[in-house]
Amino acid sequence: MAKLIDGKAISAQIKAETALEVQELKDKGIIPGLAVVLVGNDPASQTYVNLKEKACAAAGIYSEKYALPANTHQDDLFDLVNRLNHKKEIHGILVQLPLPDGLDEESVIETIDPWKDVDAFHPSNVGRIMIGNYRFLPCTPAGIMEMLHREKISVAGKKCVVVGRSNIVGKPMAMLLLHDNGTVTICHSKTKDLEEICRCADVLVAAVGKPKFITADMVKPGACVVDVGMDRDENGKLCGDVDFEPVSRLASYITPVPGGVGPMTIAMLLRNTVTAAKIQNAIPDRQKVC
C-alpha cells in the first residue's frame, strides 16, 4: 500500500516557516503585500480567492482584493494592474484565472510587472524557469517539488512522466523535474501508446483534468504518483485524475485528493509573495523557491 504524501501537513510547515519570515521582514519595517484581482463571479475562483485571503491573514501578509464585474472592459483591467504595478505596498499581483469571455488572459498577464508576478506566468518568468534562473515558480509545480523534497523522494536519474501540457502545470512541472535531473516525458491528448509510457514512469504526475483517468494498469509497481486533478466523479464526489484506490495498492507514494497537491498551491503563493517583497527591497533570499 502506498504511503500518502500529506499535502495538508507539509503546507502547514511551509506556512509556519513563511510566517516567521514575514515577522523578520516586519522587524525591518517591511510588510509583504499581495493584491488579488477577481473578475466575474465564478464560484470556484471565489472560493480560491477567499482561501488566499485567509492564508495571507494567518501568515501576516497584507492583502487587497479587487472584485470586478464579469463585463469589465479590458482597458479597465489593464489600468488596475498598472496601478498595482506602481503601488509600493503591493509586492505581488495575482489575477485569478480563468477570466470571463472577452478578456485576453495573455495580454493581462503580460501587463503584470514581472517582479510582482507571483504566479510566475509572465513570459519573462516563464523564460527564466526554462533556463533555471528563476525568481518565482508557478505555485502548483513548485508545491509538488517541495512535497517530493520533504518526503526525500529523489527524481535524479529517474523516468518522470507528466500527463498534461498546460502552461500552468504540465510544462513548468516538466522543467522542474528536468532541473532536478529527472528524465522527463510529457504526454498529452495526441500521445500514442500513453498507457505504455505511463507504465515506465518512476514518477508519474497526472495533470490532465479528467476524473480517474490514470488507472492501475497504467502505473508501474513502486512508482510515485502525484495527482494534480480536482474533478467530480459520476456521483458528484470530489476526486482526482488518478483512480486512487487501485493505484494506491501499486504505488510506493501517492498524493490524495483532497489533501494532497491542493493545499501546497496556496502555501507556495505565500512564499512567492515573501520572495517578491525581499527582491523589491533588495534583501537576499535565504532559500530559492522549490
Which residues participate in catalysis according to the annotation? 52, 96, 119
Q: Is position 165 annotated in a ligand binding site? A: yes
DSSP alpha helices (H): ranges in 4-102? 7-27, 43-59, 74-85
- 222 is an annotated ligand-binding site residue: no
* Residues facing 95 on adjacent strands: 37
Residue 206's identity, in one-letter code, is A
CA-CA distance, 85 to 88, in Å (whole number)?
Answer: 8
Chain CA centroid to CA 259, Å: 14
**How many residues comprise the chain?**
290
Determine the distance from the C-alpha atom of residue 182 to the mean position of all C-alpha atoms in its chain, rounded to a whole number.
19
Distance CA 276, CA 272 (A): 6
Query: Is 164 annotated for ligand binding?
Result: yes
Q: Is 45 left (phi over 0), alpha (psi -120 to 50) or beta?
A: alpha
Extract the C-alpha cell encoding 177: 523535474
CB atoms within 10 A of CB 244: 21
In angstroms, the CA 165 to CA 188 distance is 6
**Residue positions in the annotated binding site?**
164-166
**Residue positions in the annotated binding site for NADP(+)?**
164-166
